[in-house]
Structures are given as C-alpha cells and as structure tokens.
Amino acid sequence: MSTKRTSKSRDPQPLWADHASIRVGISSCLLGEQVRWDGGHKRDRFLTDVLDDYVEWVPVCPEFEVGMGIPREPVRLVSSGRSTRMIGVDTKHDWTAEMRTWARRRVRDLRAMDLCGFVFKKGSPSCGMERVKVYVKSGHPARQGSGLFASELMERFTNLPVEEEGRLNDAKLRENFIERLFAYRRLLSLFEGRWRIGGLVAFHTRHKLQLLAHSPKGYERLGRLVARSKGMTRAEVRAKYENLFMAALAEKATRPRHVNVLQHCIGYFRKELDGVARAELQEVVNDYRAGVVPLVVPVTMVAHYVRMLSVEYLADQVYLQPHPKELMLRNHA
Ligand code: SF4
C-alpha cells in the first residue's frame, strides 16, 4: 500500500496540495539502482529518504535502457567540430545515433506521464544537465556540454522544472526547484479537461503573493494575459500562461521581495490587530529582513493571524504554504 503523503491523506487540504500524485523523473542511479558503468550507484539520501515521501519517482537510465549493459565500457562526449558524439572510451564505439533515437522515443513516452520535474545526475554524458565534459581533438575536456538524454528532454519539455542532484545541496536552489515541482503539478491540474477562464482567474489570484515573491514583472505580465484571455483561443492562453508562470517562478525569490509580500500581508491585519501585536509582527519581519531569523518565522506568524482573524483572501494564498513544511525549505538563513 502506498504511504505517499498526498493531498488525500491530510485534512484539511494544505495549500501546496493537489489531487494527483507528483511524478518526477530521475536518473536511476540516484535512487540507489546499480546501473552505473561499474555496477555501482549514486544514491542521494535527500531524494530517497526525504523527498520520496511526496513524489512518485519515474526512474530512467539512458545507458542501460539503450542497451549498453551493466557493467559496461564508460562513454564520453567528444566534439567532432560540427557535432557532439558519444564515444566509448576504449573501443571508440560511436553510440550517438542509438542514444539520440532512443532519447527521442523515451522523451515522447515521458510526455504522456504528466511529469512535474526531473532530477539529473550531474556530469554524466547521458544525464548531465550542464557543464558536462566534452573532449576536443587535443584530448582535453572543456566543461561545456549537456548529456544527450538531458538535452533532448530539456528541449522538448521547456517548462519542466529540472535540476541536478549536486545543485540541490544549495538551500536556495533546492527550495526553488521543489516549489516549482508543486506549482507545475497545480498548473497541470488547472488545464486538465475542459477548463474555464474563471478557473484560470481563481488560480492566478491564489498565486499572486507567490509570484510577487519571485517576479513582480512576471506577475504583471500574467495579469495582462489573464485580462486579455477572453479574446484568445484556449490553447493560446494555456501555452502563454504556462510559459510565463513557470518562467516567473524560475526567478529566485529574494529577501526584499519576501519582505514586500509580508508587509502586504500585514496590511490586511491593520484594523484587527492591536498596536502591541502589530509591532511584534513587524519586528519579526524586520528580523527576517536583517537575516536574524529564517523566512519560516514571519510566514508562520502571518499564517497564524490569517487563521485567527479569518482573513479569507490570504487564507487561499499558496505563498503561505507552497510546499510541505516537513521539507523545511524555508528554514535556511
Ligand atoms: S548517470 Fe544516467 S546513464 Fe549514468 S548510470 Fe546514472 S542514470 Fe544511468
């Protein structure tokens, strides 16, 4: 029986949640599968022991699936001037055509699975997202390429949140990636079946503060799009909204933008809160601005007053809980 923590297993439904499970593609070796060229793995404890509670992994090992076997001869990327080839280190066997054909087919199949993101193994000639070694004629490598599977996936799924396991050790990159996984799931659900403009307006309203923390300009652009949406085809609105929404969230939320959002929230309590409580709340926001407390502190206080004072508009704002609190993504300095 699945023990995943989905929206159905909690009551009341948290703001980050969605009815569908969050499917995330992953380089198989990061899950501990022994698929590497030497028969080993690269298990990543955060992914397998923490994030695993919230997502359904879709493992992919390009080199095993294309038929290279385990163990196998390692391959590397080699620049031939006009193109980048995938070459066996000893035999010099050229795997490029097989890998590209397989990758096209695999990516097409993955599109049908409603993936919400992908975690790649860094540095791999198949899975690396960026800065993969590409060898030139002189035999020296330059860190300038992407793995053949990773580049095919990123070209076809332009809005899909993608990251490498190494970069997820950076607290800010980790928070941004995971926030986008949950956001993309909600976006896919919005556009499922016969969606209405009214549904899009409600979605956009619920995400206002979250978007403002990332990109005030992106929020404005999305607002203009929603306002003009009645004169456009549904397909056009969907494509444009999805592009702008995911691009806005890909901008890293900054401390000054969070402070603006928190001040905006405090404005909703102005009449109901007495002077002492308001000053206390303001002090916590000031402490966050100064880097003395992490973001989770003022946001928890704001959420407390939203519940206590029944501030309906804020109660719906995804910003207050964009991802499960157990992941502690807002607890870093
Ligand atoms: S990096 Fe990619 S190709 Fe290499 S073992 Fe891991 S999943 Fe397989």
pLDDT digits (tens, 9 = 90+) for 53-101: 999 999 999 999 999 999 999 999 999 878 999 999 999 999 999 999 9
- If asked whether residues 275 and 244 sit together in one domain, one would say no
- If asked whether residues 158 and 78 sit together in one domain, one would say yes
pLDDT of residue 5: 55
Does the beta carbon of 35 sit less than 6 angstroms from any atom of ligand 1? yes
pLDDT of residue 288: 98
- If asked whether residues 245 and 259 sit together in one domain, one would say no
- If asked whether residues 242 and 269 sit together in one domain, one would say no
Residues in contact with 323: Cβ distance below 8 Å, sequence separation at least 6, in sequence order: 16, 175, 178, 179, 181, 182, 329
pLDDT of residue 4: 61
- At residue 9, does pLDDT exceed 50? no
Query: Looking at residues 281-297, what average pLDDT do you find?
Result: 98
* Ligand 1 center–CA 282 separation, angstroms: 49
- If asked whether residues 128 and 14 sit together in one domain, one would say yes
pLDDT of residue 14: 82
- At residue 10, does pLDDT exceed 50? no
Predicted TM-score of the model (pTM) = 0.93
Does the beta carbon of 176 sit less than 6 angstroms from any atom of ligand 1? no
CA-nearest residue, atom 5 of ligand 1? 36
* Ligand 1 center–CA 62 separation, angstroms: 6
Does the beta carbon of 62 sit less than 6 angstroms from any atom of ligand 1? yes
- If asked whether residues 18 and 165 sit together in one domain, one would say yes
**Cα–Cα nearest to 64, from 112, 97, 98, 93:** 98
- If asked whether residues 159 and 209 sit together in one domain, one would say no
Task: Evaluate whether residue 176 is within a structural domain.
Answer: no
- If asked whether residues 224 and 240 sit together in one domain, one would say yes
- If asked whether residues 34 and 127 sit together in one domain, one would say yes
Does the beta carbon of 63 sit less than 6 angstroms from any atom of ligand 1? yes
* Ligand 1 center–CA 64 separation, angstroms: 8
Task: Evaluate whether residue 320 is within a structural domain.
Answer: yes
* Ligand 1 center–CA 311 separation, angstroms: 49
Task: Evaluate whether residue 292 is within a structural domain.
Answer: yes
Task: Evaluate whether residue 63 is within a structural domain.
Answer: yes
Task: Evaluate whether residue 201 is within a structural domain.
Answer: yes
The total number of structural domains in the chain stands at: 3
Task: Evaluate whether residue 183 is within a structural domain.
Answer: no
Domain final position from 229, 250, 271: 250
How does pLDDT run across 169-219, given as a tens digit for each residue? 999 999 999 999 999 999 999 999 889 999 999 999 999 999 999 999 999
Domain final position from 136, 169, 202: 169
How does pLDDT run across 116-151, given as a tens digit for each residue? 999 999 999 999 999 999 998 777 887 789 999 999
* Ligand 1 center–CA 137 separation, angstroms: 25
Task: Evaluate whether residue 181 is within a structural domain.
Answer: no
- Quickly state the pLDDT bin for 20 (edges 50, 70, 90): confident
**CB burial of residue 189 (10 Å; 0-12, 13-18, 19+):** middle
- At residue 3, does pLDDT exceed 80? no
Q: Which residue has the higher pLDDT, 144 or 165?
A: 165
Domain final position from 231, 250, 269: 250
- At residue 36, does pLDDT exceed 50? yes
Does the beta carbon of 151 sit less than 6 angstroms from any atom of ligand 1? no
Task: Give the rounded percent of residues in the chain with a pLDDT score beyond 90.
Answer: 86
Domain that holds residue 307: 255-327
Pocket-testing residue among 44, 58, 121, 129, ligand 1, by greatest number of atoms within 8 A of Cβ: 121
- What are the tokens at 127? 């899975």
* Ligand 1 center–CA 61 separation, angstroms: 5
Distance CA 215, CA 221 (A): 10
Does the beta carbon of 86 sit less than 6 angstroms from any atom of ligand 1? no
Distance CA 44, CA 47 (A): 6
pLDDT of residue 8: 42
- If asked whether residues 28 and 153 sit together in one domain, one would say yes
Task: Evaluate whether residue 287 is within a structural domain.
Answer: yes
- If asked whether residues 227 and 80 sit together in one domain, one would say no
Query: Looking at residues 234-246, what average pLDDT do you find?
Result: 97
**Cα–Cα nearest to 74, from 8, 124, 22, 7:** 124
- If asked whether residues 74 and 163 sit together in one domain, one would say yes
Pocket-testing residue among 34, 35, 162, ligand 1, by greatest number of atoms within 8 A of Cβ: 35
Sheet holding 162-164, edge to edge: 55-60, 22-27, 115-120, 162-164
